Each structure stands twice: as C-alpha cells, then as structure tokens.
Structure 1
Amino acid sequence: MAVPFFAGADVERAVSPHDAYEAVKEAFVAHARGEWTMQPKLYVTNYPAGDFRAMPALGGGHALLKWVTSFPGNPPKGLPTVTGLVLLSNAETGQLEALFDAGAVTALRTAAAAVIAAETLARAGAETISVIGCGVNGAETTRMFRAVGSDVSVWDVDEARAAAVAHYLGAEVAPSLADALASDIVVTVTPGRDVLFPEGSLREGQHVSLMGADGPGKAEVATSELGRADLFCDDWEQASHGGELAAGVEAGVVTQDRVTEIGRVLAGEAEGRRSAEDITLFDSTGLAIQDLAIAKAALAKAGQLDLPQLSL
C-alpha cells in the first residue's frame, strides 16, 4: 500500500491561512456539538528535556493520530522544537490515507486558534495587536493575522529573529516587551517557562490568547490574574490538567463553571465577551480535532500536488 506524504512545505502549499482559519473554526463547532470527538492528549515526559504527545481524534469520516514532541531546548542545537508525524485514516475502512509533517500541521492550527479566539473575544474597536514569540508557531500566527488583514507588531527575546519575521511578513517590531504586552490584543507563543503577565498587569478591555503553556508546569500569566479575567479555553479537560488554567485549578482560583470552551461560543451556545471593559483570556492547549481539520484540508488538495508516495 502506498500513501502520500505531506512534508512541511507541502502542508503550507495545500492549506492557506484562510483555509486553516475556516477549517479550525468549523472543527471547534463540530467538537462543541459532539460531532467530532477526541481524548485528552497523552504526555510521555522526559523533563526537563521535553515531552512526547499522542493525540487521537475522530470526525468527518476520518480518524487521526498525532505523535509529536515539544523540546524547547532544541533551537540552540539547530533542531526544531516540534517534530513528529500525523497519520490520517479512513474512519469507515481503517485504511491509512496520508501522513503529514506534524510541525507544519501544528503551526497552522495553532495560528488559526489564536486568531479565531482574538477575533471572537476581543472588544469592538480593538486597534493594536502583538505576537510575543517569533518561533515557528509565532511566525505562523503573525502570517495569519496579516492574511486576515490585521496590522501586527512582534517581539522576541532574539531581536534578529523578530526583525526577520517582521520583515518577511510585513509586520513591525515592538519597541519593547512592555509595549507588546500593552496591546489591545496579545498572543503569547513562548515556551511557557517565564510569566509574561505578572500580578496586576492585565489591562481593562484587553484580550490575550495564551498559546505557549501547553503542558504541566508552564505559565505565561500569573495565577492571580486568572481571577481578574473572563476565561475561555479550547477544551476544559486538557486545559484544567495541562494548560495555563491548571495552576489556577490547583490554587482554587479557577473552577469549571468559570471557563467557557471557545467552540461553544462559535456555535452560539455560550456567551463570549460581555462588555468592552472585560479582560478575556483564551487558554490553548492544542486539540487533535484541530490537527484533523488541517489534515483533512490538506488531503483535499493532494491531487494538485506532486507528493511522494510511501510504500507501507
């Protein structure tokens, strides 16, 4: 049996930022309605080096398994933080239909989730947008904001990397981290080792998409700040155990009744932002149903690409 393999560049050619945005948005809604299902991701940890994650999902006539890593110390070694494979199978026959580079799929779905949450939860009239962290996922998030017509500034601990991303994508470099954190809309895409928003730092009316703290012990915002904001997440089960909200749950600051899943807002089943003065926080842990959405969108374009066929 031969199946097509989508390398990173193939995934990017097959799925535009607009395609990714719409696919992930539809996946959030399908998951909220129970049409697409998944189990919480399984972590195989080797801290402090990093971790491995197994992520299954079922929906839209397909089943998916993603085996992916997160090793934040890799870039100085010349290695990517995220590596792995996505396997897509036919849900009716069980036959494997395609394999994908997990890094490219992850970048697209992470960016889509960040921008969808920002556009859904930010206050009307929000003017300034910043992306903090210019690694692969941060750069893809910047590209998606630009694709939907938004001006954006970027910041990274590596000034040269921030400058390169800004130049390539038509963004600006924020004068400082403080300036970036003061934007109306902030997306944080960092390794999650350092708190970016300390106690009392969130501004009235601000929206923040927290994309980096996707595992135990990671945090981009102080636990006390979770008590000041209206809280949203991609999936409560994952977020309450391994996301930004987990520390708040452990401290008793966050309970399930205080958190709304973004899919329910997009499906019209729950309220989003209630007033211009509210602070909204979106905790993203990354869902297998998002990966499924990107994989399905890519597979639909397989006939237009000259893809290598792997014999299994």
Structure 2
Amino acid sequence: MSTENKGVSIVSEKTCQAVVGRPEAFTAVENVFAAMAKNSAYNFPVVREAIGHADALYGFKSGFDRDGMVLGVKAGGYWPGNAQQGITNHQSTVILFDPDTGKIKSLVGGNYLTAVRTAASSAVSIAHLARKDSKVLGMVGAGHQSTFQLRAAVEQRDFEKVVAWNFHPDMLPNLEKVCVELGLPFEAVSREELGAQADVIITITSAFESLMQKDWIKPGTHIACMGTDTKGKQEVDADLLAAATVFTDEVAQSISLGEAQHAIESGLIQISDITPIGEVINGTHQGRTSEDEITLFDGTGVGLQDLAVASAAADLAEAQGKANFIDL
C-alpha cells in the first residue's frame, strides 16, 4: 500500500507483535542475508557510543538493500537500569526512507523486532547448517532474548529435549515454562553436560569470557553464538572456532566485534576461514559437509536485519489497516 498520500506510517510495538511472527521474521532475515552475500545489500558503518548518562550505550545501525528496496536506520541502545523500571533494557526505533526520493516512509518500534530478528538469525543458521537428525537443543543463557531464541529454534528441527545452563540458575524457569508449553522435556545441566548432550547449541549471553570449551563439544554439533556484539565480549573458547567451520552474518563485524574477534587476534583462524551464511542460502557454498563437522554461526547482528523486519512490519501493518499515519 502506498504511503504517498497518507503521510508517514507509524507502526507501534503492539502492532509489530500483531503483524510480524516468527515465519515473517525468518523470511525477511534469510532474504537479506542472501542479498548481502550477493553484494546487493550492505550495511553502513555502525556508530555506538557510551553517552555518559545512565550507563547507557547509544548508537545507529543503517544500510541499504537494493533487492528489497529498503533504506533506513535503527537508532537505540542499551539502558541497564531499565529493568528496575519494568521496561526492557534494549530500546530502539527504526526509521525507513524511500530509496527513490529520500523521503521518510515509516517510524517502526524496534524493541520486539530486535528480539524476533535475532532469533530468526540463529534459526536461519540452524535451518541451513544443523544436522537433520538433531534431537537435543542446548541453551546457554536464560535472559529476555533466550525465549525468543528457543521458540524459533525448535521450529527448525524435531528436537526431543532442551538442556540449559545460565550463570544465574534462578532465571532458568524462563526457558522451562516455554518447554512445558511446547511439550518438550527440559533439564538444567552443567556446561560440560550441555556440550555432551546437545546437537545444537545457542549461546545468548552478555559474557566477556569463554563459557563453552572446545573439548566439551561433540562432533557434528551446530553452535549459534548470538550474544557477542561488542569488542571484548566472548561466549565460546577461541579454539572452538579453529575446530569448527565458521559462518557469520557479516565478516567485517565478525572479526571486529563478533565471536571471531578472539580467534582472529590470536591467529587461530584467518578472515578467509569465515563464510557469510548468505552464500549457503544462495547455494554458492555447500554449508555442512559431513555428519561429524562442527559448524558455528557468529551472529553479530547487523542493521539490515532490523531494516528487513521493520519493512515487513510496515508493509503488513499498512496492508491490514493497522498503521497510523501523520504528516511531517
């Protein structure tokens, strides 16, 4: 639906939740990863700064997808004290522009979409890289994003069990409740036991040290590292990346602020060892080559993911008559 005569569409957080589910997010993220690998979509340099107030980090992620004709910017960041006020620590808004004219098209709430697009990213990696016979899903982390990750992951394989570990065990019921709802057995385990059991592992933490060691991971495992998005953060042993076939959303971010930063810095892997997952989606890389191969997806989170799901939200909201419009 054209917004030319209606002005700028406003798509609220509530509306985003109503119109964008896991299937819509999965398709949007998969398509934009494919476009990135073809160099028809690209991210602009990220701006991320500590603002010197409320311990907050604030920044901008932006880019242009020529295939999807999506241009925009996500503005927001992390306010660690928000949880005490009953609101999410991550706050963001997406602004979409008309690529032909530069005119603003839409203002879209970004909080829910950030969670659902991050979950879609790991789900895409599982769909394309995990063994087809994967039966046990391992979750490292039990915070706000973990339940989104869990729900998206279990739709990709016929998992029969979920095992989980979290630094604060009192948060594990967040995951257990979802498993009860889905009818999946759930078990809280040590990290070593998680590695021994899991066929697919998702790490979704804010750790600055290795939580999973190479020797704990069994052959054939797929690991989606989703928490490392800042210089210094780390979720898995750098030796694990050396032992795995490594894929990512964007190589430049993977080596600078993603999980691969530590393996690169220590010389354990080279940039040429990291493959954009879009190449697997496009069929230009075969992906997993054996049942014993360990595959690892370094999900750093790129602006184009946010723009893709925000564009889907705006289109769906407008088509369903759920968007509001204003003149600017």
Aligned to 2:125: 117
* CA RMSD across the alignment: 2.4
Is 2:158 the partner of 1:143?
no
Q: What is the distance in 1 between the residues matched to 2:44 and 2:203?
A: 25
C-alpha spacing 1:149/1:72, structure 2 compared with 1 (3 Å):
farther
Indicate whether 1:21 and 2:37 are aligned: no
Rounded Cα–Cα distance in structure 2 between residues aligned with 1:14 and 1:168: 22
Amino acid at match of 2:179: A
Tell me which of 62, 79, 88 is aligned to 1:56: 62
Answering whether residue 96 of structure 2 is matched by residue 80 of structure 1, we say no
Cα deviation, residue 251, structure 1:
1.2
Higher mean C-alpha deviation, range 262-271 or range 194-203: 194-203
For the 8 Å contact 1:111–1:140, the answer to whether it is kept is: yes
| Amino acid of the structure 2 residue aligned with 1:90 | D
Within 5 Å, which residues of 2 pair with 1:99-114? 99-114=107-122
Alignment match, 1:131: 139
Q: Is the 8 A contact 1:72 1:191 kept in 2?
A: no
TM-score when scaled to structure 2? 0.86
- Within 5 A, what are the aligned runs for 1:1-312? 2-45=7-50, 49-59=55-65, 60-71=68-79, 74-75=82-83, 78-148=86-156, 150-151=158-159, 153=162, 155=164, 156=166, 157=168, 158-168=171-181, 170-178=183-191, 179-181=193-195, 182-302=197-317, 303-312=319-328
Distance 1:295 1:154 in 2: 32
Within 1, Cα distance between the matches of 2:214 and 2:290?
22
1:72, distance to aligned residue in structure 2 (A): 5.2
Task: Pick closer, same or farther for the CA change 1:247–1:77 going to 2, 3 Å.
Answer: farther
Code of the aligned partner of 2:108:
F
Greater CA drift, 6-15 or 113-122: 6-15
Report the Cα distance in structure 1 between the residues aligned to 2:134 and 2:110, rounded to whole angstroms. 33
More displaced, 163-172 or 99-108? 163-172
Q: Would you say the 8 A contact 1:54–1:65 is kept in 2?
A: yes
Q: Following the alignment from structure 2 to structure 1, what is the Cα–Cα distance between the partners of residues 296 and 253?
A: 16
Q: Report the identity percentage.
A: 27
Matched residue SS, 2:292: coil
Gaps of 5+ in 2: 1-5
**Per-residue deviation at 1:28?**
0.8
Q: Which runs of 5+ in 1 are unaligned?
A: none
The CA deviation at 1:175 is 2.6
Give per-residue Cα distances to partners, 1:8-51, cap 9 Å, x unaligned.
22112111211111121111111111222222422213699452
Q: Which has the larger radius of gyration?
A: 2
Q: Distance in 2 between matches of 1:69 and 1:124?
A: 36
Contact 1:18/1:148 (8 A) holds in 2:
no
Task: Work out whether residues 43 and 51 of structure 1, in 8 Å CA contact, stay in contact via their aligned partners in 2.
Answer: yes
